[in-house]
Structure 1
Amino acid sequence: MEKKEVKVLVHASGRHVHLSEADLKTLFGPEAEIRPKRVLGADGKGDFLSDLKVEVVGPEGKSFSCSVLGPARRETQVEVSYTEGRMIGAVPPLGDSGKLEGTMPVCLRGPYGSVKLTRGMFVARRHVHLTPDDAERIGVKNNDPCDLRIEGARPTTFHGVIAKVPPREVGMEVSDVHLDYDEWNACALFQQDGGWLSRGE
């Protein structure tokens, strides 16, 4: 039987930091706030890019600048690609946003101070924010694995794309996949912005 597929948007997610309120104040000062610069996501809801940047420092002292996303989180986390991790001498584990057990220690530096995290840096598992209607069309539920098929110059299929399906009352209207830039470049997605999603095996 032929697999059912839905067309989804595909976004590249660059390295970024989600800060707790306490770490925000330590890094940027007691009056600091995370203000929106650009809303992220296909539905225009949820996370936003701010104009704040921090230095992410690896175990060898190498560092790079990293954008801060808002709003503030309960606990600070740092999401990078494997290539970006190696730039600062780190090999972070795969992880999921908000689930920080087993993630990597890291140091953050801001204009006001620094923070040494005992955990929080990881490579985000590829995932799709799937509307309830699209989830029903391909027969998946929240946290089910999906397959993402990319056409074009470098055809690629990504397996193990985790479905994030919100309740209907959230009102999500557009399904979109989040890949990091290692994955994005591997299939030449700079030439297009979409793919086909189906239920994984």
Structure 2
Amino acid sequence: MDKEELIKLVTKRVIEKMKDYDTHKVPIGVSNRHVHVSRQDLDILYGKEYELTRKGDLKQPGQFASNETVTIRGPKGEFERVRILGPVRKQSQVEVSKTDSFRLGIRPLIKESGDLKETPGLDLIGPKGIVSLSNGAIVALRHIHMTPAQADDFGLKDKDMVEVETFGERRGVLGEVLVRVSDQFALEMHVDVDEANAFSLSNGDHVIIRKER
């Protein structure tokens, strides 16, 4: 193979890689510790029939960061001013990183949001009262939100597990990424702060889906 043919081959592969990136890229959303609360628990924390007030919209339709915060307390320590995300849910849930769990003194499992079986509890402390959760603290399983149309484009379905490739100074591969499909979602991959720091990821960065398991 002469020099000209080699240049053509390399150029072709670079173009193919760029097309693959454009077709399969997914924006990143970095998720700091936060709380979802039930209607009943919000009544205790902030008062009867209190309504969350909107600080800013999140990328997922209908979801928002509220102005309201709570203190989350574990057996060994606590974090103050942990933001509540709205709207209210059927069951309260606390999402923390593995690093957070050391300070709190708990051993949360890596779980899909909403799967709270066999998870540890925490105290939620609000301005009006305290809620002692018997369970509900998790390290959220990294996941990608997408619409049914986007899932079709990717050749994926709800609950699939995929790998994604990151780029930059700490380029690498993240495995065991859960695919979540709904017409109520917007395309976005959620990672926690530990994962973001490990791969030097920030909000708005992009990854690409490498393969389906």
1:128-154: CA deviation from partner (whole Å, max 9, x where unpaired): 002323322332110000111101110
Return the match for 2:37 from 6, 19, 22.
Answer: 19
Note if 1:76 corresponds to 2:76.
no
Give distance in 1, aligned partners of 2:203 and 2:51: 36
- Residue in 2 that maps onto 1:7: 25
The unaligned stretches of length 5 or more in structure 1 are none
Note if 1:180 corresponds to 2:176.
no
Note if 1:115 corresponds to 2:131.
yes
- Residue in 2 that maps onto 1:56: 72
Structure having the larger proportion of residues in helix? 2
- Residue in 2 that maps onto 1:67: 83
Return the match for 1:101 from 108, 117, 142.
Answer: 117
- Residue in 2 that maps onto 1:40: 58
**Aligned length, in residue pairs:** 193
Structure having the larger proportion of residues in strand? 1
- Residue in 2 that maps onto 1:193: 205
Return the match for 1:124 from 140, 151, 166.
Answer: 140
TM-score when normalising by structure 2: 0.84
Return the match for 1:30 from 43, 48, 61.
Answer: 48
1:131-186: CA deviation from partner (whole Å, max 9, x where unpaired): 3233223321100001111011101110111001114xx4x5x4110000000010
Letter matched to residue 167 of structure 2: E
Q: How far off is 1:31 after superposition?
A: 4.4
TM-score when normalising by structure 1: 0.89
Give distance in 2, aligned partners of 1:131 and 1:23: 31
Between 149-158 and 26-35, the greater mean CA deviation after superposition? 26-35
Letter matched to residue 63 of structure 1: E
Q: How far off is 1:35 after superposition?
A: 1.7
Letter matched to residue 28 of structure 1: Y
The unaligned stretches of length 5 or more in structure 2 are 1-15
Give distance in 2, aligned partners of 1:53 and 1:165: 29
Runs (4+) of structure 1 exceeding 4 A deviation are 2-5
Q: Equivalent residue of 1:147, what SS?
A: strand
Q: Equivalent residue of 2:54, what SS?
A: coil
Q: Percent identity among equivalent residues?
A: 37
